[in-house]
């Protein structure tokens, strides 16, 4: 005679159902989070590769940010230099008028002082609390026009006493092995000549034709040299833009690779969830049927 017992089979079915339920929960979590795993530990041997790739991505994103900052600075400096060129044009026009206007009609010395102050303000340009025209000296204003000597005779000589910065050229690392120089400094010849020309107008006798002629020539030379400096800034800005595009491309590719590792295949997960749900429903149906069985029904 055979013994009738469903206890062992019931326990096996229950364990199987619990395993299916756990796997279903994992797939549902993956579906809601969009991630294959929610912790590095759960990824096993693949965690090291993912961590390395995420570190590379963070480096790329940081480098992109610093390149963008350098580009913003270069463009701001270019705009400022362009404004200096405009001031030199204004200075030349004023000097041209001095030979035809009565010396009492306009206070030309005051005009020169105003131009001198405007130039100094442009050369002391700041961005995010950082002075841009002082080379490596970025925490204090690089230009102090109070240090200039008032010209009393013509011809004058170069005077860079106003400059409190250094000779370092601002640059940014765009890769581990490549850097781009993007800065210009306020002690360059064009800057000095612009300040000297304005300083002459602020101090010369309006009837001194030699000084007027020299100041006009200095303003002209300053315009040419400032335009050249602006051109360099434009070239460097273009280089930074090109590097920024490369960095953005590299960042996008790395992000996609990381996503391929971490992200779930939503269609596949949906199919697996449906299969587990069907299996689980069948398991519970069988367990329910077994729990309703009585030995007397078979005797």
Per the structure, the count of domains in the chain is: 2
For residues 169 and 288, state if they share a domain. Answer: no
CA angle 262, 63, 186 (to 5 degrees): 165
pLDDT band at 51 (very low <50, low <70, confident <90, very high): confident
Q: Are residues 203 and 273 in the same domain?
A: no
Q: Determine the structural domain holding residue 123 and report its residue range.
A: 71-242
User: How many angstroms separate the CA atoms of 183 and 151, rounded?
Assistant: 30
Question: Where is pLDDT greater, at 188 or 269?
Answer: 188
Q: Which of 149, 217, 233, 225 is nearest to 189 (CA)?
A: 225
229 shares a domain with 178: yes
- Report d(CA 261, CA 267) in Å as an integer: 16
What is the pLDDT, as a whole number, of residue 298? 47
- 101 and 165 together in one domain: yes
Is 120 a domain residue?
yes
Cα–Cα distance measured from residue 203 to residue 270, given in angstroms and rounded to the nearest whole number:
83
- CATH code at 130? 1.20.1330.10
2: in domain: no
Instruction: Give the rounded percent of residues in the chain with a pLDDT score beyond 70.
Output: 71
Q: 260-284: per-residue pLDDT in tens? A: 776 655 666 566 667 666 776 666 6
What is the mean predicted confidence (pLDDT) over 197-220? 94
- Domain presence at residue 66: no
Could you tell me if residue 11 is inside a domain? no
Please, are residues 73 and 170 in contact by the beta-carbon 8 Å criterion?
yes
Same domain, 180 and 142: yes
pLDDT band at residue 43 using 50, 70 and 90 as cut-offs: low
Residue 5 covered by a domain = no
Q: Percent of the chain at pLDDT above 90? A: 55
In a domain, 94, yes or no: yes
- Residue 48 domain flag: no
Angstrom distance (rounded) from CA 177 to CA 179: 7
Give me the chain's average pLDDT, please: 83
pLDDT exceeds 60 at position 4: no
Look at residue 134 and tell me whether its pLDDT is greater than 80: yes
**Are 130 and 236 found together in one domain?**
yes
| Residue 243, pLDDT score | 95
The pLDDT of residue 36 is above 60: no
Q: Is residue 124 located within the same domain as residue 206?
A: yes
Query: 117 and 184: one domain?
Result: yes
Instruction: Give the confidence band of 73 by pLDDT, cuts at 50, 70, 90.
Output: very high
Residue 10 lies in a domain: no
| Residue 220 shares a structural domain with residue 87 | yes
* Spatial distance between the Cα atoms of 101 and 103, rounded to a whole number of angstroms: 6
Q: Are residues 225 and 291 in the same domain?
A: no
Q: 0.75 cut: is pTM over it? A: no
């Amino acid at each position: 005679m055979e013994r009738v017992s469903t206890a062992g089979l019931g326990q096996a079915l229950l364990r199987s159902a619990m395993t299916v339920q756990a796997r279903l929960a994992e797939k549902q979590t993956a579906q809601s989070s969009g991630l294959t795993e929610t912790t590095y530990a759960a990824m096993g041997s693949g965690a090291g590769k993912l961590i390395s790739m995420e570190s590379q991505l963070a480096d790329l994103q940081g480098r992109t940010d610093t390149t963008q900052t350098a580009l913003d600075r270069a463009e701001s400096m270019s705009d400022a230099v362009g404004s200096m060129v405009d001031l030199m044009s204004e200075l030349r026009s004023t000097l041209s008028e001095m030979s035809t206007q009565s010396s009492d009609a306009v206070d030309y010395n005051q005009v020169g002082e105003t131009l001198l102050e405007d130039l100094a303000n442009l050369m002391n340009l700041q961005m995010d609390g950082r002075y841009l025209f002082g080379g490596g000296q970025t925490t204090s204003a690089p230009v102090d026009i109070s240090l200039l000597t008032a010209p009393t005779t013509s011809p004058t000589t170069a005077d860079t006493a106003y400059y409190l910065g250094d000779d370092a050229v601002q640059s940014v690392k765009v890769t581990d092995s490549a850097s781009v120089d993007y800065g210009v400094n306020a002690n360059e010849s064009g800057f000095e000549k612009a300040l000297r020309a304005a300083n002459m107008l602020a101090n010369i006798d309006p009837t001194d034709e030699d000084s007027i002629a020299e100041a006009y020539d200095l303003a002209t030379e300053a315009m040419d040299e400032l335009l050249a400096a602006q051109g360099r800034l434009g070239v460097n800005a273009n280089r930074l833009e090109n590097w920024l595009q490369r960095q953005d491309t590299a960042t996008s590719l790395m992000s996609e690779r990381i996503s391929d590792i971490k992200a779930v295949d939503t269609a596949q997960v949906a199919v697996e969830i449906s299969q587990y749900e069907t299996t689980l429903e069948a398991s519970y149906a069988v367990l329910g049927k077994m729990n309703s069985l009585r030995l007397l029904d078979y005797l």
